[in-house]
Amino acid sequence: MKNLVKLFLTLTLLFGSHFAVAEVVNINTADAQTLAANIIGVGEKRALAIIAFRDEHGPFKSVDELTQVKGIALKLVDKNRENLAITDVK
């Protein structure tokens, strides 16, 4: 039984981040820290690129427009689609 508990804890630590639920994030208003924390595959550098694109081109009209940001592919958008919004979600 002890070994089973150890195994469970080890697996939880190893794979726990893959099961974490991200918050819905408004890509038109979120800061870099919020974008990086809630979009799987987006770190600080990509989050700053999203903000720079948004500042230059105005607000995103759709989530799919994220693919116009350098380093953001459709696969990344599809992976996060349920957690991305262009308006505030209540």
Size of the chain, expressed as the number of residues it contains: 90
What are the structure tokens assigned to 25, written together? 């994030």
Q: So what's the pLDDT on residue 1?
A: 72
Give Dmax (Cα) for the chain: 58
Rounded to whole angstroms, the Cα distance separating 4 from 17 reads 21
Rounded to whole angstroms, the Cα distance separating 8 from 90 reads 35
**pLDDT per residue as tens digits for the range 5-63:** 566 556 555 555 444 556 899 999 999 999 999 999 999 999 999 999 999 999 999 99
Domains of the chain, residue spans:
22-85
Which class is 22-85 in CATH? Answer: mainly alpha
DSSP assignment letter at 29:
T
Read off the pTM. 0.74
Contact 72, 50 (CB under 8 A): yes
